[in-house]
Amino acid sequence: MSLTAPSDGASPAAPRSPRQMRRVLFSSFLGSAVEFYDFLLYGTAAALVFGQLFFSNLTPVVATIASFGTLAVGYVVRPLGGVIFGHFGDRIGRKSMLVLTMTLMGAASFAIGLLPTHATIGVLAPILLIVLRLIQGFAVGGEWGGAALMALEHSDEDKRGFSASFANMGAPAGAVLSTVVLAIVTLLPGDAFLVWGWRIPFLLSAVLVGIGLYVRLKVSESPLFEQEVITAVASEKKRLPILDVLRNNPTSVLLGIGAGVGAFALQALMATFALTIGVQGGLPRSTVLWLFAVGSFVQMFALPLYAAVSDRVGRRPVMITGCVAAIIAVYPVLLLIASGSALGVLLGFLIAMPLVQAAMYGPLAAFTTEIFATGSRYTGASLGYQLSSTIGGGFAPLIAATLVAGTAAGNGLLRVAVFVAAAALISAITIGIAKESSRRNLAPAG
């Protein structure tokens, strides 16, 4: 089993112009931000309103758990989306798949904004919600891999971590955008937010997708992929990328899964469960959303900073430090967010997101993609990353809501903290086992 991408010392593609590189980085960031706006908007809405609107026939606690359950199904299909879009991205090209994923995501989000609630069409409402969430998960499963690869494969070798992190910056950027829009519409008078206001952020996704597609269509194809096509044709290689991954790099997939579970568990907890306990602590819903947006905004700048450090000292030291910090900080962070103090909630988000989670997540895009060969990198990186996000993040809000149900607040939060700390420990051990990837040659073998 190989942990490294094959290389015979082939020279990387000639570097693109600074203007083209800026366009690639902006495209990876903006496209990822638009897709994660749609994906994370669902998570925020699940924490705040979906339980009341689509599961109104259930008790509040069960409705919350059911709402987070629909959130989880979107994560379940992310690996499938990663494999399918990764297959065609490795065979046809990165760019075309990124255009398709964004279009699918925008259509699903817009449809959610038009969806009737349980009060109107009964049990059909949550069923349709789940179907649209599945489409969202399928689309975002193919988005990250392509966005990260477009940035990384255009980059100079000594800046790969920094460049690839622009795809990861899309998650907090999308969180900021979705949270700010939701925070604004929560200011609507009376029951207007629950009646129709929550639909506005989903309908706005159509505008954002149009902007994202305009930028994405102007970006050139990955130079490393173009080299790989020439090499594959010259040697008459005919293979399925997923078979390459499972036969030659199964250990790399496992490393990709384990390395990210801690980062995703903490990320998902902050984007959903933490909002719920912040509101339950006594703060207005809009206040908690604004404080979360502040944490996400600062995190946008922390991610490339940690990634740039990993270009100098290696991915492993930065990510392991973040995992250890998460183990130590997660319980105090939850107590701060549940404190009912605006300053405490803000401090909790600032510690959890830009300070701790960004150290685990910033170098993750480069770490996950560098361990696969160019001809199967989209498939392999997407599979590892999306399985990691499903295991670490997809079920985290559901598990957290279940752990606190029927228990004293302090005991419930401690259980949630132990869960996240265990995920971070798994990541630390996995990263410790892996070989350093930051100096690996990614050029296709001739």
Mean pLDDT of 167-186: 84
- Is 234 part of any domain? yes
pLDDT at 261 (0 to 100): 94
- Is 273 part of any domain? yes
Mean pLDDT of 369-379: 80
- Is 9 part of any domain? no
> Could you report the per-residue pLDDT of 132-144, keeping only the tens digit for each?
988 988 888 888 7
pLDDT at 337 (0 to 100): 95
> Could you report the per-residue pLDDT of 287-311, keeping only the tens digit for each?
898 899 899 999 999 999 999 999 9
- Is 145 part of any domain? yes
- Is 47 part of any domain? yes
65 or 421, higher pLDDT: 421
- Is 412 part of any domain? yes
In CATH, what number is assigned to the domain containing residue 258? 1.20.1250.20
DSSP 293-346: HHHHHHHHHHHHHHHHHHHHH-HHHHHHHHHHHHHHHHHHHHHHHTSS-HHHHH
Helices within 46-169 (DSSP H only): 51-54, 60-76, 78-91, 94-113, 118-121, 124-154, 160-168
Q: State the Cα–Cα distance between residues 299 and 267, nearest whole angstrom.
A: 11
Count of domains for the chain: 1
> Could you report the per-residue pLDDT of 395-419, keeping only the tens digit for each?
787 788 788 876 655 678 999 999 9
pLDDT at 441 (0 to 100): 74
262 or 2, higher pLDDT: 262
Q: Please, is 16 exposed, middle or buried when counting C-beta atoms within 10 Å of its C-beta (0-12, 13-18, 19+)?
A: middle
- Is 25 part of any domain? yes
**Banded pLDDT at 329 (limits 50, 70, 90):** very high
The answer, yes or no, to whether residue 446 has pLDDT greater than 70, is no
- Is 12 part of any domain? no
Helix (H, G, I), strand (E, B) or coil at 218: coil
The answer, yes or no, to whether residue 205 has pLDDT greater than 70, is yes
Query: What is the span of the domain harbouring residue 246?
Result: 18-433
**Banded pLDDT at 6 (limits 50, 70, 90):** very low
Residues of the chain with pLDDT > 70, as a percent, come to 91
pLDDT at 13 (0 to 100): 44
